[in-house]
């Protein structure tokens, strides 16, 4: 049995009061929004002319994202200017934020560095691990080179890692509800196999879940199974062997109700195959959905019950939690997933991300001519200044400006 790898790195205190005071001032200057604060103070609602904008109660940066950004900024202030600092992939899934990180002089390399990129690194160089973590092997390689880590991995992600490592120790296969190519899921699957004895299978949706559950209960064509899930299971995975005991976990940014349904269907399959009295030996489940992801989904669900003409979802197109907000909106009303205000070309034309064809598309006559009530939400990696830009753009389409709004006093009964 291979020993589970241990990784030790020098401890660097980036949260010194003097450093963090400078960091906070810089972060506020980059991402704060006076207009968003105005909406918070006015019950998350803005009325101007014949336009009503309703902002979800929970939106934008979560604690884990704020922490990751703070640590990246603090790294640049803490280490001498001549010290090279590298970021594995993206700090979070938002292009504007990643541009700001690069503007600090932090160099981006691949989340799984190429040999050419590794050749650039030397002992003492600083490597920032992003909020969704990194793969075990990548971390080992960088440690062997003597790199210094600034680890911004979200605590919720590490909770999932702990769970799948336990599954591996108990010879339980991790069924991970997520996107096999997402950085977080790659990091999680590497934890499942880190001890040398664990296995995993990634299922993306309920259709894939049902396929696996049928295989568990009825058996099937092994080669067809392996081809269907190619790239989404561990080396040496055998569905006839490694689906006898499973534990469900998830990419933390998936839809909670879908993850819960994945769990229910696997539980039912195991009960049918082995009997309820043997369930504990064959099935495990722990809730590993990120609290901030759930808060934003819950807030949007409430917003969608209000009268709205359309919904704008703001965030990076490769942001998993943002894409699920867009899915929720699309099921109810016209929804436009945009990464910034520039995508609202005019009141007649909007360019937005279509998740079904995986590219930007254009929609004409998206904004009603007359009175309109518009819902807005944003993913956990979207800064407030981008939300402000969208609101300001909507106001401009009605011949108004943010300055016209910011002078208005709070409505009676709303918190100041």
The catalytic residue positions are 184
Q: Is 337 exposed, middle or buried (0-12, 13-18, 19+ CB in 10 A)?
A: buried
Q: Residues near 73 by Cβ (< 8 Å), separated by ≥ 6?
A: 23, 26, 27, 104
Q: What is the full DSSP assignment across 49-88?
A: TTEEEEE-SS-S--HHHHHHHHHHHHHHHHS-TTS-EEEE
Residue 275, Ramachandran bin (φ over 0: left; ψ between -120 and 50: alpha; else beta): left
Residues forming a β-bridge with 314: 338, 378
From 75, 183, 91, select the one nearest 138 (Cα to Cα). 183
Q: Using CA atoms, how far apart are residues 236 and 83, in angstroms rounded to an integer?
A: 42
Q: Which residue has the tokens 């539980």?
A: 267
User: For the chain, first and last CA: distance in Å?
Assistant: 61
Other C-beta atoms lying within 10 Å of the C-beta of residue 18: 8
The SS3 assignment for 106 reads coil
DSSP H helices in 79-205 = 95-103, 115-120, 136-144, 155-169, 183-192
Q: Would you say 377 and 327 are in contact if contact means Cβ atoms under 8 Å apart?
A: no
Alpha carbon 327 to its chain's center: 14
Q: Name the one residue in this structure whose structure tokens are 């800064």.
A: 383
* Residue with the two structure tokens 């099937």: 220
Could you tell me the CA-to-CA distances from 253 to 62, 276, 408 in Å, in that order? 12, 31, 37
Angle at 200 between CA 65 and CA 381, to 5 degrees: 15
Burial of residue 346 (CB within 10 Å: 0-12, 13-18, 19+) is: exposed
Distances (CA, A) of 187 to 28, 135, 154: 30, 4, 12
């Amino acid at each position: 049995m291979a020993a589970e790898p241990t990784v030790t790195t020098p401890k660097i205190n980036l949260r010194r009061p003097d450093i963090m005071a400078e960091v906070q001032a810089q972060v506020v200057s980059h991402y704060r929004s006076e207009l968003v604060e105005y909406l918070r103070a006015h019950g998350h609602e803005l009325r101007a002319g014949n336009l009503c904008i309703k902002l979800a109660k929970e939106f934008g940066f979560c604690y884990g994202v704020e922490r990751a950004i703070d640590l990246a900024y603090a790294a640049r202030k803490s280490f001498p200017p001549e010290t090279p600092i590298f970021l594995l992939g993206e700090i979070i899934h938002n292009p504007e934020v990643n541009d700001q990180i690069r503007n600090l002089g932090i160099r981006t390399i691949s989340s799984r560095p190429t040999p050419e990129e590794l050749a650039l690194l030397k002992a003492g160089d600083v490597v920032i691990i992003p909020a969704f973590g990194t793969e075990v092997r990548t971390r080992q390689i960088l440690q062997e080179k003597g790199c210094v880590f600034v680890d911004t991995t979200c605590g919720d992600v590490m909770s999932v890692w702990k769970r799948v490592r336990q599954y591996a120790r108990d010879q339980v296969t991790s069924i991970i509800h997520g996107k096999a190519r997402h950085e977080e899921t790659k990091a999680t699957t590497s934890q499942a196999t880190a001890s040398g004895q664990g296995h995993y299978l990634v299922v993306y949706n309920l259709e894939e879940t049902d396929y696996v559950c049928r295989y568990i209960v009825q058996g099937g064509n092994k080669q067809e199974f392996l081809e269907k899930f190619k790239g989404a299971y561990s080396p040496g995975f055998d569905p006839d062997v490694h689906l006898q005991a499973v534990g469900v976990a998830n990419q933390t940014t998936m839809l909670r109700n879908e993850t819960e349904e994945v769990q229910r269907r696997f539980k039912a399959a195991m009960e049918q195959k082995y009997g309820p009295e043997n369930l504990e030996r064959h099935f495990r489940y722990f809730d590993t959905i990120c609290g901030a992801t759930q808060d934003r989904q819950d807030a949007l669900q409430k917003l969608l019950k209000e009268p709205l003409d359309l919904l704008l979802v703001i965030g990076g197109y490769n942001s998993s939690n943002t894409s699920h907000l867009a899915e929720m909106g699309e099921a109810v009303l016209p929804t436009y997933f945009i990464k910034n205000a520039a995508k609202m070309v005019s009141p007649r034309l909007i360019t937005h991300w279509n998740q079904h064809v995986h590219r930007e598309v254009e929609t004409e006559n998206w904004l009603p001519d007359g009175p309109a009530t518009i819902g807005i939400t944003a993913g956990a990696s979207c800064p407030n200044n981008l939300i402000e830009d969208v609101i300001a753009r909507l106001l401009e389409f009605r011949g108004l400006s943010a300055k016209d709004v910011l002078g208005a006093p709070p409505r009676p009964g709303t918190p100041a």
